[in-house]
Structure 1
Amino acid sequence: MLTFIRFAAVAASLLLLPLGSFGPSPDAIVATAEQAASPVTKLAPQARRAVAAFGAEFGLAAANAHVPESGLAVGQTADDFRDWLRASPAHRAELSRFRSYLAAQGVEAVVPMWQLVRTSSSWKECAAEPFETPPADKWDHIVKTLQFVRDNVVPAVGQVEPLSAYRNEGLNSCSNGAPKSAHRHFFALDLTPLDTKVARADMIRSVCAAHAREGQAYDTGLGFYSGRRFHVDSSGYRKWGPNGKGATSPCVGQA
């Protein structure tokens, strides 16, 4: 009973929030809520729409279960995003405008929106924000990166999750990012495959092949970190390894 009351209270508060102008139809939203295995299914239709729309607007329906090796930093989960979004009306307004821009470019659904505004894994140590909507003058930079992810990375390794995207100058410096890091201008994403069955060696082989085949056409930079985390950007065709040099890229020597 208490769980039901809490969900009802949340739904009532969400009804006060403006719904996005993009996203699933009302019928699809209701269907999503009805399929969810939670007390949301017991709410009135209008309340179900509010709960589901809040999750659908920024891709929260795709809140992924994380495994330790994903590399996700503390404080950057879906629940943390909800807290950040509710902390300021400006956050929601800025992110809604960004979402509309990506939708117009046809890349809104490549990865969940809420993951696309994760900052650095070192955000807490640097006294920064775990999420940040990039400045509008940099939005166009991520479009080609998302196109490469959609057209080449996803077919190679399946759906991927962004772990880090835009980093402002101060955060980039504090988190030991390269002085000319593509993250500073929102060209770059650090990604990991959602499918935990994709081994590091297989991931490298598949992504390297995609980069060799189509990377130049998308101006794609490609680097690999430890585990199953890798970097893509669209600020210049290149590849690199642990020391930042092309010769040490794990792609070298790949068939």
Structure 2
Amino acid sequence: MAGLCLLAIGSPAAQAQSVAPGQAKADYLAWLAQSPENREDVRAFRTFLIDREVKDILPTWQLVRTSSSWRECSAERFEVAPVKQWANIVDTLAFVKREVQPAIGEVEALSAYRNEDLNTCSGGRPASAHRMFFAMDLKPVDDVDRSELIAKLCAAHSASGAEYSTGLGFYSGVRFHVDSSGFRKWGSDGRGSSSPCNRI
């Protein structure tokens, strides 16, 4: 399925329900402090989000988290996507604000943009939605069990997913994927037929 990113399904990184080591806010602040270029890139990206009226849906620093498997892939833990791809995340953020958060509460972005090398190492397909900055892997901040998460997100996807061209994928536990690169759904093995939404 085009645009699907399989984050090394079955790997510890894919199964993780928490922030990967090295990708906490303190790590981000250290990354930001080490380079004027990093600071300028984040500042410009933040201005873009403000201009598009999608700021503060998720903290900007979470939107520059790369992959939970950054360490295994010898990659950067934070990276601002190329400017030409910034517009791709706008509808994804809008869907999170208008459909995901009202359904399950506040969410945290665990992974967003992945450059070509990291995307390949992470198990993503060449046309992965993460590669083009359409996608985020998310988890709820509050305590939501998997069955409740699935029921509420599948209902939101069914009602409004087509409007936002939303892809909705589920990993194990409560980690899930949202993008805006095509209306579709899938389960933890990456197949549409295995989406838990099909059983609701």
Give the TM-score of the pair, scaled to structure 2: 0.90
Instruction: Choose the corresponding residue for 1:225, options 156, 165, 171.
Output: 171
Aligned to 1:8: none
3-state SS of 1:139 partner: helix
Q: Does 1:171 align with 2:118?
A: yes
Instruction: Choose the corresponding residue for 1:158, options 66, 86, 105.
Output: 105
Q: Does 1:208 align with 2:187?
A: no
Aligned to 1:241: 187
Aligned to 2:91: 144
170-179 vs 183-192, which moves further: 170-179
Aligned to 2:196: 250
Q: Deviations over 1:8-49 (max 9, x none)?
A: xxxxxxxxxxxxxxxxxxxxxxxxxxxxxxxxxxxxxxxxxx
Aligned length: 186
Task: Please report the RMSD computed on the Cα atoms of aligned residues, expressed in angstroms.
Answer: 1.2
In structure 2, the gaps of 5 or more residues are 1-15
Q: Deviations over 1:142-179 (max 9, x none)?
A: 00000000000000000100000000000000111223
Q: 1:118 deviation in Å?
A: 0.2
3-state SS of 1:184 partner: coil
3-state SS of 2:199 partner: coil
Q: Deviations over 1:79-98 (max 9, x none)?
A: 10011000100001000000
Greater relative CO (CA pairs within 8 A, separation 6+): 2
Choose 1 or 2 for highest CA Rg: 1
Amino acid at match of 1:244: G
Structure 1 moving runs of 4+ over 6 Å: none
Q: 1:247 deviation in Å?
A: 1.2
Aligned to 1:18: none
Amino acid at match of 2:57: V
Q: Indicate conservation of the 8 Å contact 2:172/2:188, yes or no.
A: no
Q: 1:72 deviation in Å?
A: 1.4
Aligned to 2:40: 93
Give the TM-score of the pair, scaled to structure 1: 0.71
Q: Please give the alpha-carbon distance, in whole angstroms, between the structure 2 residues aligned to 1:139 and 1:225.
A: 25
Identity of aligned residues (%): 55
Alignment map for 1:1-255 (pairs within 5 Å): 70-196=17-143, 198-254=144-200
In structure 1, the gaps of 5 or more residues are 1-68
Q: Please give the alpha-carbon distance, in whole angstroms, between the structure 2 residues aligned to 1:239 and 1:158.
A: 21
